[in-house]
Amino acid sequence: MKPTAAPVPTKAAQFLVDTDRKAFDLEHRRKIRFNIGKYNAAVTTGMGFYADHELARSRASYLKTEVINHLDEYLLQFEENFSKRGGQVIWARDAAEALAEVGRIMERRKARTVVKAKSMTTEEIHLNEYLGKRGIESVETDLGEFIVQLNGERPYHIVTPAMHLSKADIADIFVKHLGIAHTDDAQQLVLTARHLLRDKYTAAEVGITGGNFLVADTGAVCVTENEGNARLSATFPRTHIAIVGIEKVIPRLRDLDLFWPLLSTSGTGQQLTVYNTIYTGPRQPLEKDGPEEMFVILLDNGRTNLLAQPEQREALNCIRCGACLNVCPVYKNIGGHSYEATYSGPIGSVITPHLSGMEENKHLSFASSLCGACTSVCPVKIPIHNLLLKNRQQSVQAGYTDPEERRAISLWLHGMKRRWVWDLAPAAAKNWVLSRLLGQVGWSKRRDAVQVAPKTFRQLWKARG
C-alpha cells in the first residue's frame, strides 16, 4: 500500500507554527528590534520638522478618502491625461490578467532580461516567478530586494525587504550565491551589487516599476526611492511598465507636497526620500532619454471587493509607508515572513483577507493585540485596529469560525444567559469549559490553566448570612 500523504496544514495552522518558532527565536528578535529601533529613532527626529503633523495627517486622510469614494472618476481622469502623452493604460481585474498583459509585451519586445524596481504589486502577482517560467531573467535592482531574491526569499517588510538580515547574514549570502571573498565591509558589499547590476540596466529590454502615487490631473506615475535604481530601470530599457494598484490615485500634482514628506517621514524619518520621479509617459520628441513606450497596468486584484464595503474601504487609503509595522508589538515578535502574505503587519492583516479571501486569511485579523499603536502612527489616519475588529466580525458572521470554537462559545453563552445552570455545575465542569474556550486562543499553551474557585460568590455570600 502507498503511504498516506500527510494532510496539508491550513494557512491558519501554519501561521501558528511559524509564529511560535519566530517569537521564541531570540536572535531573530534581536535583529528586528535593532533595525526597527533605528527607524523609530529617525522617525521621532523627522516628526520634529512638522509644525502641525496632525493637520497634515487630517488633510491626507481627507484627500485619500475623497479619492476612494470617487475612485472611478479619478481613474478615468488619470487614464485620459496619461494617454494624451502617448502612454498606454491597461486595466487588469486580477493577477492572471496582469501577468498575461506583461507576457504579451515581453513577446512583442522579444525580451530576455527585465530590470525591476522595488514594487509590492509585482510581489502580489508573483511576477518574477511568472517571468522565470517563460525563460526571462527578472533582476531586482533595489539592494534589499536583490539580497532576498538571491536568497530565494520573499520581502520581509513592505519598505525594508531585508530587515531580518544582519550585515553578517548578507555577507554570507553574497559569498554563497556570488562567489565573492568574505567581507564584513558594508561598502564593499554594496559595490559588489552595484557592479553586477550596472550591466543589467543596459542589457534589459524592459524595465518594470511600481508607483507610489498616480496623479489624476496630470496623468503621472510617481516613484519614490533612495537608491536611484528605479530611475535606471525606467530610463535605460526601451519599454517601461508600471504596475500600480488602483487605490494609489491622488487628485492633483500639488498634493505631492503633502504626500511625499508624509510617506518618507512616517516610514524612514527622512524629510524627503532621495529620488522622487514623476513619469508622464514615454520619451517625447525633443527629450533625450527615457523609454520609447510606457505602459501603466492598473491592478484591481481584489481591491474592488474592499471598495464595495463602506465600513472597511478606508483601508484603501494606505500609502505603504510601513509605519504601522514598525510600531506593532506583534510584528516585532513574529516577523514579516510568518504572515505568508505580500502585505504583512497590521495593514496587511486588514487588507489581505479582502484581497486574497476571507476564509483562508481570517486568522491574520486575529493576530493583533488591538493596542491601537498602528492607528496612532498612520499618516492617513486609517483606524486600523477598528478595521481588524470589523474583519473579525465579518468572518464570524460568514461562519468561518471552527466548529469546535462555535460549540465552546455556544456552551459559554448558554451558561451566561442562565446563571443557575452555571451555579449548579461543579467546579470541575467549569474548568473543562474554560480550558476548551481558552485553548482556542492558545491561552494554556504557556500559562497555567485557569481554575475557578470551589464556591461561587453567591454561595459565599449566602454562607455569610
| pLDDT score recorded for residue 440 | 62
Q: What is the arithmetic mean of pLDDT over 25-35? A: 93
Under the banding of pLDDT at 50, 70 and 90, the label for residue 4 is low
Under the banding of pLDDT at 50, 70 and 90, the label for residue 291 is very high
| pLDDT score recorded for residue 448 | 80
* pLDDT tens digits along 412-421: 788 778 877 7
2 pLDDT more than 60 = no
| pLDDT score recorded for residue 433 | 74
- 81 closest CA partner among 278, 286, 291, 336: 278
- Whether 98 contacts 299, CB under 8 Å: yes
* Sheet strand arrangement including 239-245: 88-92, 293-299, 239-245, 206-209, 113-116, 137-140
Which cell numbers hold the place of 129? 516567478
The pTM of this model reads: 0.91
Residue bearing the bigger pLDDT, 384 or 408: 384
Residue bearing the bigger pLDDT, 107 or 424: 107
| pLDDT score recorded for residue 462 | 87
| pLDDT score recorded for residue 443 | 72
CA separation for the pair 415, 425 (Å, rounded): 10
Report, in angstroms and rounded to the nearest whole number, the Rg of the chain calculated over CA atoms: 25
Under the banding of pLDDT at 50, 70 and 90, the label for residue 457 is confident
Name 358's Cβ contacts closer than 8 Å, sequence gap at least 6: 391, 394, 395, 398, 400
208 pLDDT more than 60 = yes
* pLDDT tens digits along 299-321: 999 999 999 999 999 999 999 99
| pLDDT score recorded for residue 460 | 87
Q: What angle do CA 109, 241, 115 make, to 5 degrees?
A: 75
CA 317 to chain centre: 13
Q: What is the arithmetic mean of pLDDT over 342-367? A: 96
Under the banding of pLDDT at 50, 70 and 90, the label for residue 96 is very high
Q: What is the arithmetic mean of pLDDT over 259-268? A: 96
338 pLDDT more than 60 = yes
186 pLDDT more than 80 = yes
| pLDDT score recorded for residue 272 | 95
5 pLDDT more than 70 = no
Taking each helix axis from N to C terminus, what angle separates 167-178 and 186-203, rounded to the nearest 10 degrees? 50
Kindly list the structural domains of the chain, giving each domain's residue range(s) and its CATH number in brackets, ordered by start.
11-41+305-397 (1.10.1060), 49-301 (3.40.50.10420), 403-463 (no CATH)
Under the banding of pLDDT at 50, 70 and 90, the label for residue 7 is low
CA separation for the pair 231, 428 (Å, rounded): 68
